[in-house]
């Protein structure tokens, strides 16, 4: 009866012998491809040779076609993970942030570390160092990348479990939401109209912040989504716009319209209030390209330029603190959490709307009469 094969990725009895006059330890190892291979190591003594062989057996790299093994470096693992993320169709901007994080913190500091050496303490030290030198947001993004990378290593069988799963990341500072009140929104619209009416500092400079602000206030869309709007996305007859893209910067290319919004939940069709519809009808009459909010030469408009104009328009006013994003907070607070989640394009499973967009009132509903039930019969 033939001897049963070794269990995959295990070795048999270690035998001590002498090869070329040197103490040698020999064993057979069954690799994960099912092939049993002879391994041997030498040492100054038989015990030293056996210790060297045991270490080699533990670190055994199976010669298969797998792209990632425990001997692969974190550079190689990161590259494979980014390729996988790209194939999944992640947003261009998200992929760009991941690549930037890999270059700045993985490749630069631990790129040559092998997967088997990427212990939880070593990864935690990296996160802590990035938090100290580059800030907590960079450290949190690094944590996201490391969790993804080490999960991929687990799927390849390079490690039995993820050493990034229990990383301690810097906590986000909770800041109370400040949403513009209705009277502040009115002041904002006045300030934007005043800015648009003033002479431009440069010939050909576009002055249309009032219309841009109205679209943000009347839809709750993101600034990048508004800048990506094409006239094909606007139904002036029935009063709808469809959000199907956003603007983003691609390294080596420049500004593009990403043919998908931030998330699948962000793809939505929104009814237009009358004041927004009126603004878009006026713009359509004078449109000179496919974009609703183009640059002076008919190309996509850089969000940075719009923010600079916005800051200039509000400088010295009572609403100087407001940014384009605050328009989304105004919309969310007026609509309430449930309706705002749909309008703003947040996932139903997330609590982003309530945590970051809807202002919590300090004064709660008057429940005093209902709580009188606790008073005793004598009113004491």
Average pLDDT over residues 218-240: 95
Q: Say if residue 203's pLDDT is above 70.
A: no
pLDDT for residue 198 is more than 80: yes
Structure confidence at residue 376 as a pLDDT band (50, 70, 90)? low
Greater model confidence, 376 or 265: 265
Q: Residue 62 has what pLDDT? A: 47
Structure tokens at 331: 């919309």
Q: What is the mean pLDDT of the chain?
A: 88
pTM of the model: 0.68
| Structure confidence at residue 372 as a pLDDT band (50, 70, 90) | confident
Q: Are 141 and 133 in contact (CB under 8 A)?
A: no
Q: What is the pLDDT of residue 61?
A: 55
Tell me the CATH number for domain 74-155.
1.10.150.130
Q: Predicted confidence band at 8 (pLDDT cuts at 50, 70, 90)?
A: confident
Query: Could you tell me the CA-to-CA distances from 326 to 58, 180, 347 in Å, in that order?
Result: 56, 7, 20
Query: Which 3 state secondary structure label does DSSP give 28?
Result: strand
Q: Are 63 and 41 spatial neighbours (Cβ–Cβ below 8 Å)?
A: no
Q: Cα(98)–Cα(140) distance, rounded to whole angstroms?
A: 12
pLDDT at 10 (0 to 100): 87
Rounded (to 5) percent helix, strand, coil in the chain: 45, 10, 40
252 burial (CB, 10 Å; 0-12 / 13-18 / 19+) is: exposed
Which segments of 3-87 are extended strands (E)?
A: 10-11, 15-19, 22-30, 36-42
Q: Tens of pLDDT along 83-131? A: 998 888 777 778 888 999 999 999 999 999 999 999 999 999 999 999 9
Question: At 65, is the pLDDT very low, low, confident or very high (cuts 50, 70, 90)?
Answer: very low
Segment 180-196, tens digit of pLDDT: 999 999 999 999 999 99
Give the pLDDT mean for 226-239: 95
Extents of the domains making up the chain: 10-58, 74-155, 182-356
- In tens, the pLDDT along 66-79 reads 578 888 999 999 99
Over residues 124-145, mean pLDDT: 95
Q: Taking a C-beta distance cutoff of 8 angstroms, is the pair 245, 257 a contact?
A: yes
Helix, strand, or coil here: 122? helix
Higher pLDDT among residues 172 and 188, named by residue: 188
Q: What is the CA radius of gyration of the chain?
A: 31
For the domain 182-356, what is the CATH superfamily, name and number? Answer: Intergrase catalytic core (1.10.443.10)
CA-closest candidate to residue 74, choices 120, 124, 110 = 110
């Amino acid at each position: 009866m033939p001897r049963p094969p070794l269990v995959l990725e295990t070795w048999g009895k270690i035998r001590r012998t002498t090869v070329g006059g040197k103490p040698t330890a020999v064993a057979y190892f069954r690799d994960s491809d099912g092939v049993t291979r002879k391994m041997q190591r030498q040492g100054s003594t038989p015990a030293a040779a056996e210790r060297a062989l045991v270490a080699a057996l533990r670190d055994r790299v199976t010669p298969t076609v797998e792209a990632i093994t425990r001997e692969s470096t974190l550079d190689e693992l990161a590259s494979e993970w980014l390729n996988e993320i790209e194939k999944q169709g992640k947003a261009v901007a998200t992929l760009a942030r991941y690549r930037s994080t890999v270059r700045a913190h993985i490749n630069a500091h631990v790129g040559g570390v092998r997967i088997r050496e990427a212990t939880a303490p070593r990864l935690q030290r990296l996160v802590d160092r990035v938090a100290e030198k580059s800030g907590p947001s960079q450290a949190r993004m690094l944590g996201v990348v490391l969790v993804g990378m080490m999960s991929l290593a687990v799927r390849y069988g390079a490690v039995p479990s993820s050493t990034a799963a229990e990383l301690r990341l810097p906590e986000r500072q909770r800041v109370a939401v400040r949403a513009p009140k209705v009277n502040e929104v009115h002041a904002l619209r006045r300030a934007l109209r005043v800015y648009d009416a003033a002479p431009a500092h440069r010939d050909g400079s576009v002055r249309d912040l009032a219309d841009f602000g109205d679209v943000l206030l009347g839809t709750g869309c993101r600034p990048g989504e508004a800048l990506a709007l094409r006239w094909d996305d606007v139904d002036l007859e029935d009063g709808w716009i469809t959000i199907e893209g956003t603007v983003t910067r691609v390294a080596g290319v420049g500004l593009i319209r990403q043919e998908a919004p931030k998330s699948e939940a962000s793809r939505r069709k929104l009814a237009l209030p009358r004041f927004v519809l009126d603004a878009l009808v006026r713009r359509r009459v004078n449109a000179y390209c496919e974009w609703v909010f183009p640059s002076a030469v008919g190309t996509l408009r850089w969000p940075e330029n719009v923010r600079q104009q916005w800051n200039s328009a509000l400088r010295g006013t009572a609403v100087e603190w407001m940014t384009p994003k605050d328009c989304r907070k105004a919309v969310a607070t007026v609509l309430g959490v449930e309706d705002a989640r749909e309008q703003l394009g947040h996932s139903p499973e997330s609590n982003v709307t309530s945590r970051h967009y809807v202002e919590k009132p300090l004064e709660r509903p008057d429940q005093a009469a209902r709580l009188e039930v606790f008073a005793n019969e004598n009113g004491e």
